[in-house]
Structure 1
Amino acid sequence: MERYFKRKSTVMESSSPPNEVVNSSKQACLEINLEDLPLDPGLRTRIWDYHPNVRDQVRRAYLQKGPFQPRNHTFPQRNLSGGPRRFIPAWFDEFPTWLEYSVAKDAAYCFCCYLFKPNTGEQAGSDSFVGKGFSNWKKKSERLQGHVGGPMSAHNQAWSNCKAFSKQIEAQTEYKTLLGASVSCMRFLLRQGLLFNGDDEYEDSNNQGMFADLLRLRCNYDEDIKAVTLNNAPLTLKLTSPDTQKDIEIAISTEIINAIVRDIGDSLFSILIDEFHDMPSQDQMAIVLRFVDKGLVIERYLGIVQATDNTAVSRKGAIDDFFSTHGLSMAKLRGQGYGGTSNMQGELNNLKTLIMKANECAFYVHCFAYDLRSTLIAMSKNHLEIVGLFTWVAKVVNVVGEFVECRDTLREKHGVLVFEALNTSELLSEQGLNEGSSKFKTLISLFTMFSSVIDVLEVLAEFGLDSEQKSKARVLLGPLQSFGFIFSLHMMINILRITDGLSQALQKNDQDIVNAMNLVRVCKEQLQVMKESGWDSLLNEVSSFCQKHEIEVHNMDDRFLTRGRKRDQVITNMHYYRVELFCTVIDVQIQELNVRFTEMNTRLLLCVACLNPSDSFSAFNKQKLICLARYYPNDFSTLDLMILEDQLEKYIMDMRSNIEFSGLNGITDLAQKMVETKKDSVFPLVYLLLTLALILPVATPRVDRVFSAMNIVKNRLRNQMEDERMKDRLIPYIETDILDSIDDEVIMQRFQNMKNRPCQL
């Protein structure tokens, strides 16, 4: 490579010794302070002795200050050619743009030649106006005019370069002003989630959005921005185009991510993953990292990653690429959690297993903040009969919702009681079908008001506003009054009653892990009992309900009548409803609970519970805490385990006797109090246990708000939003505190470095 590209030397031509020039150049590059540059031209460092990387900065600083002309100075006299001579201040008026005077050397200098005269030796009046200075006041007219010279003189060329550079500085100043205004406007809009896709911010556009409006508003209060934006800036520098907006968004989101990664540093962390179904592609995962800083649990949203398909291997590859892109180490991962309703639609177990193969300490725990009922309902929908149940329930919601439009007819034909009952029902809220708890309530409402719902549907079928409404009501009456629907309704209500208490306990703010794990065990046992001995009672309940509402009850010994293609094997109603529906759905519930609450992570959580400081550290158990440390061999060596045993004995004695640690509510309070009192340094291994416990995503209320924020922003944005742009807009909307900590100058520099710009800062 040396044959084709020569390394650029930092040594410029100079009369100084080579070593001195190199040292001077390096020092000027490393230690230059533009505010402390000497004004006196006789004391300045030669422009060519500055490092090339800072030379233009020095020129810019001097041009902003202008030539040094101390008009009020008492100029000393000297005897020259038989008479006293001195510098005359009026010469500044004669040569105002370039003439300078050095108080230190009592000599005249040329401002533009100092800045831009080529470093090619002496010419055009020698080097006296740049180096040692001109001080022969007797020959003023001859030397000053001679220095200026003709049109192609070195001075005039330097002056031309000086004017061109000044215009460049002016353009850069205007550009920086406009870019700063654009960044601040974009920062505000992203923070509020107010940007829309497809806005065209060009001045002659009829589709301008909030960005242009906000920029104009700023102009009304800032004359500098107004002049630059609306009058003087050329089209390429107006910084209002959609492409420029997009680049600013990317610059902002990139700086936020970099700030988060810097905050994490070498800390241990866990990862929280949720499918993002509102995106055009279904194979996307939102990523949140959870870590501990000075005893405080911090969760940060880092963006959305795209998998090639919905397999666990593809998702694991996308996570690996994400870690690599942001300089995160899989070796630092100490926990994994998954949110949302479907939880990777069956890929959860495979994905968490792949991650644990890469890092055995990346333990999975169920995210308590998420509604367990939603997940159990989603898993039940793997059975077509349950899909049908919730599909028909959703249609009931839509049709009954039209009840308000024909309420006068219904009041007349059916009475006020039915109207009021349905009008206040959960069934009228479509939002009630979004969460597991609301779905459960909706099933209960349909069960308790079944007669009223059927009556209303019959009225709508006969007296609906139009044929479409009548048809919808008639279509619903058949499935709702079928044995299969009633059986599925009763079965799901009974199953969700068992899991309802567990789901509510997990979502409490004050987590009691021991009781929660006991509830998990009880819930599994109840489901197993229901499967083994609950069939007869359920069938009797369903049969009684059908008889009450005049619905035909199937004979369990009869052949099951299939819809669609014929079965290869003839089965009875008993086999279908008991084996293929009842037992299958219960098995799915038990299996999902086993996946989420394995024997391994249950033991892990029970060990974590021993750190709870409530009731004077009554849950403390030294052996279980040592067992907890053994789960993390990468963090606790054999020697550490021996030291930990001694630390735990001293720790519990100190905690129980220290008034400052009484009345703490949880391990988060405990960790913060240890940092506050510097006990984290006294008991470092105990504090490490606390950190590992806090990293586990057992309770994550903030990540729940993160994903809620995604839905809010998605609803505000247009459906054509690109995936990457959606990510760039979500990050500043969610991580507003990080956004507020980043200076505009940093964002502007990031924007500049992304690609070649028409102007430089």
Structure 2
Amino acid sequence: MKKGDFPQHECGDSTNNHGGDAFVNGGFRNWNIKSRFSKHAGAVNSAHCEAEEKYNLFMQPKTSIRESFASNSGEFKVQYLARLTWSLKCIRYLLRQGLAFRGHDESKDSNNKGNFRELVQWLAGNFEEVNKVVLGNAPTGCQMIDHKIQKQLIGSCAHETTKLVIEELHDECFAILADESSDAYQQEQLALCLRFVNTTGQPVERFLGLVHVEDTTSLTLKEAIKSLLIKYQLPLSRVRGQGYDGASNMKGHINGLKKLIMDESPSAYYVHCFAHQLQLTLVAVAKENTDCAWFFGQLAYLLNVLGMSCKKIRMLRIAQAEYMIEALKLGEIESGQGLNQEMGLARPGDTHWGSHYKTVMHVMLLYPSIKKVLFKVGKECNGAEAIGAQTMLQVFQSFEFVFLLHMMNEIFGYTSDFCNALQRREQHIVNAMDLLEFTKAELDVLREDCGWKEFLGKVTSFCVKHKVKVVDMDGKYKPIQRSRKFFKDAINYHRFHADMFLGVIDRQLQELNNRFDEVNTELLRCMA
């Protein structure tokens, strides 16, 4: 046998060459040096140890892991299948509820081992058939509760779910819905959903998957979408619709994602979510108008002053109950089932501008109670708490705050019905388009002279009722908590009528026309 026919491994040779003096004609000559044996054997993955392991398996084949699995009894396989089934059931429950799997401390003595292990333990403690095959009654190396096993089972569930989605789609056309997001490590990724009509004629939306992207340029996003669709054998030619947010890299007419998709599939029309468009319209109006920005800043400060402690919330409830009793005695409000319910000052959501209408409306209805609580806190408390209440009370009792409060309530009131209609699943698209036109018509009527006079009359009567000083429209404008240098020689009528009233309404109408363009509107009308 030649030297090259032997397996190559290191021996104890000082030159560390392969082969060495173990496989030369003279043989292994260093028998008298004991340390050379360990060097000759090498590490666990050395050629010597691998050869020794193969020899042992050849002489005793029943000791191998493969043979051990193959020789398992039928009862062991049944128990393994039952254990796997119960682990899958626990995982499906947690996935459906969107709950976390792992706990902070999953050790044996922990009081809370995480949702998955706690659920398995609860099932074992309440059902004998489960207890026979899981946890302590299962083999130490086959309990099916390790986090690596959980990930593998979750991946299997995701694969089977996606497979059913593709089968439900068949070979029909579909629309894509995509949005950018980030994971726990702040890495950019793209979420993709499919929207199509199933065999029963119902429009459905199905989540397809997440794709990690290096950046959020339109070309990168397009390649990510294309790769994910090709993975499930869904060509871009079958795309008949696109839905993204209002970012320029998504809806750009030249190099946007919308344009790149339409280059390969001309029938993939872009339609923005109408409810999201309306939210963006309200956000643009509220942030770009300085008076609206000031009002919402004061509203946030008011919520901080009154909503930071249970004591103040209780004071507000008591004040509102006393006001209701007095109003009922004077006949100012009516009593009846469902009327005069207790209200609070819930903080509006930053991404849900429909919730701002509820907050504004509650501030109007609770105005006398809030005024009473602010005065009480400013008088009885000390330090920063008292200063905050006193400062807020000055703004709260100003004509400017009351004017903007009524204006936001009016505008949000017109768009609230439209916003609620767009979020209804059973809403017909033609009715939604008609409601859009009706909202625009109402805003046009409001900005006319008759609408201004009627609105100013409401604000004035509210101020008289709650003892708020009404400003002279022909007098000079005096800003609240803002420097007069920015409003030199400004007249009240011009500030309240032109800058605030007409400025906000015109901006609202402009945003509605820009975001709900005629192309998408007519397209949806024709499809309906």
Q: Is TM more than 0.5 here?
A: yes
Q: CA deviation at 1:417?
A: 1.9
Q: CA deviation at 1:419?
A: 8.6
Partner of 2:242: 336
User: Structure 2 vs 1, CA of residues 352 and 390 (structure 1 numbering), >3 Å: closer, same or farther?
Assistant: farther
- Conservation of the 8 A alpha-carbon contact between 2:319 and 2:372: no
- Give me the whole-angstrom Cα distance separating, in 2, the residues matched to 1:336 and 1:282: 24
The reply to whether residue 261 of structure 1 matches residue 166 of structure 2 is yes
Q: CA deviation at 1:333?
A: 1.8
- Give me the whole-angstrom Cα distance separating, in 1, the residues matched to 2:402 and 2:262: 43
- Conservation of the 8 A alpha-carbon contact between 1:483 and 1:553: no
CA deviation digits over 1:410-437, x for unaligned, max 9? 8999982269999945443447988555
Partner of 1:488: 404
Partner of 2:375: 458
CA deviation digits over 1:149-206, x for unaligned, max 9? xxxxxxx998943564542325694766654443333223323334344444454656
- Give me the whole-angstrom Cα distance separating, in 2, the residues matched to 1:260 and 1:587: 46
The reply to whether residue 473 of structure 1 matches residue 389 of structure 2 is yes
CA deviation digits over 1:665-698, x for unaligned, max 9? xxxxxxxxxxxxxxxxxxxxxxxxxxxxxxxxxx
Partner of 1:380: 285
SS where residue 208 of structure 2 aligns?
strand
Give matches, 1:385-400, under 5 Å. Answer: 385-400=291-306
Partner of 1:195: 100
User: Structure 2 vs 1, CA of residues 204 and 248 (structure 1 numbering), >3 Å: closer, same or farther?
Assistant: farther
SS where residue 207 of structure 2 aligns?
strand
- Give me the whole-angstrom Cα distance separating, in 2, the residues matched to 1:426 and 1:539: 27
2:433 aligned to which of 512, 517, 520: 517
Query: Which amino acid in structure 1 is aligned with residue 236 of structure 2?
Result: M
- Conservation of the 8 A alpha-carbon contact between 2:295 and 2:404: yes
- Give me the whole-angstrom Cα distance separating, in 1, the residues matched to 2:469 and 2:191: 49
CA deviation digits over 1:82-106, x for unaligned, max 9? xxxxxxxxxxxxxxxxxxxxxxxxx
SS where residue 415 of structure 2 aligns?
helix
Stretches of structure 1 lacking an aligned partner (at least 5 in a row) = 1-155, 610-761
Partner of 2:153: 248
Q: CA deviation at 1:489?
A: 2.1
The reply to whether residue 167 of structure 1 matches residue 68 of structure 2 is yes
SS where residue 473 of structure 1 aligns?
helix
1:500 aligned to which of 403, 411, 416: 416
Partner of 1:105: none
Q: CA deviation at 1:268?
A: 1.0
- Give me the whole-angstrom Cα distance separating, in 2, the residues matched to 1:282 and 1:381: 31
Q: CA deviation at 1:259?
A: 2.8
- Conservation of the 8 A alpha-carbon contact between 1:312 and 1:347: yes
User: Structure 2 vs 1, CA of residues 468 and 239 (structure 1 numbering), >3 Å: closer, same or farther?
Assistant: farther
Please report the TM-score for the alignment, with normalisation by the length of structure 2: 0.66
The reply to whether residue 605 of structure 1 matches residue 524 of structure 2 is yes
2:359 aligned to which of 428, 442, 456: 442
Partner of 1:56: none
SS where residue 428 of structure 1 aligns?
coil
The reply to whether residue 361 of structure 1 matches residue 267 of structure 2 is yes
SS where residue 409 of structure 2 aligns?
helix
Give matches, 1:582-593, under 5 Å. Answer: 582-593=501-512
- Give me the whole-angstrom Cα distance separating, in 2, the residues matched to 1:208 and 1:349: 46
2:206 aligned to which of 273, 279, 300: 300
SS where residue 381 of structure 1 aligns?
helix
- Conservation of the 8 A alpha-carbon contact between 2:320 and 2:369: no
- Give me the whole-angstrom Cα distance separating, in 2, the residues matched to 1:507 and 1:413: 36
Percent identity over paired residues: 32
SS where residue 439 of structure 1 aligns?
helix
User: Structure 2 vs 1, CA of residues 292 and 410 (structure 1 numbering), >3 Å: closer, same or farther?
Assistant: closer
SS where residue 550 of structure 1 aligns?
coil
Partner of 1:290: 195
- Conservation of the 8 A alpha-carbon contact between 1:531 and 1:583: yes
2:176 aligned to which of 258, 263, 271: 271
Partner of 1:210: 115
Query: Which amino acid in structure 2 is aligned with residue 210 of structure 1?
Result: N
- Give me the whole-angstrom Cα distance separating, in 2, the residues matched to 1:161 and 1:467: 83
SS where residue 271 of structure 1 aligns?
strand
Give matches, 1:401-420, under 5 Å. Answer: 401=307, 405=311, 416-417=322-323
- Give me the whole-angstrom Cα distance separating, in 2, the residues matched to 1:584 and 1:312: 35
Query: Which amino acid in structure 1 is aligned with residue 521 of structure 2?
Result: T
Give matches, 1:612-623, under 5 Å. Answer: none
SS where residue 396 of structure 1 aligns?
helix
Query: Which amino acid in structure 1 is aligned with residue 369 of structure 2?
Result: S
Partner of 1:233: 139
- Conservation of the 8 A alpha-carbon contact between 1:285 and 1:304: yes
Q: CA deviation at 1:319?
A: 4.2
- Conservation of the 8 A alpha-carbon contact between 1:432 and 1:438: yes
Partner of 2:24: none
- Conservation of the 8 A alpha-carbon contact between 2:102 and 2:115: no
Q: Which has the larger radius of gyration?
A: 1
Query: Which amino acid in structure 2 is aligned with residue 503 of structure 1?
Result: C
SS where residue 511 of structure 1 aligns?
coil
SS where residue 458 of structure 1 aligns?
helix
Please report the TM-score for the alignment, with normalisation by the length of structure 1: 0.48
User: Structure 2 vs 1, CA of residues 539 and 307 (structure 1 numbering), >3 Å: closer, same or farther?
Assistant: farther
Q: CA deviation at 1:270?
A: 1.7
CA deviation digits over 1:592-625, x for unaligned, max 9? 423443222222222233xxxxxxxxxxxxxxxx
Query: Which amino acid in structure 2 is aligned with residue 167 of structure 1?
Result: S
Stretches of structure 2 lacking an aligned partner (at least 5 in a row) = 1-55, 328-338
CA deviation digits over 1:691-750, x for unaligned, max 9? xxxxxxxxxxxxxxxxxxxxxxxxxxxxxxxxxxxxxxxxxxxxxxxxxxxxxxxxxxxx
SS where residue 370 of structure 2 aligns?
helix
SS where residue 287 of structure 2 aligns?
coil
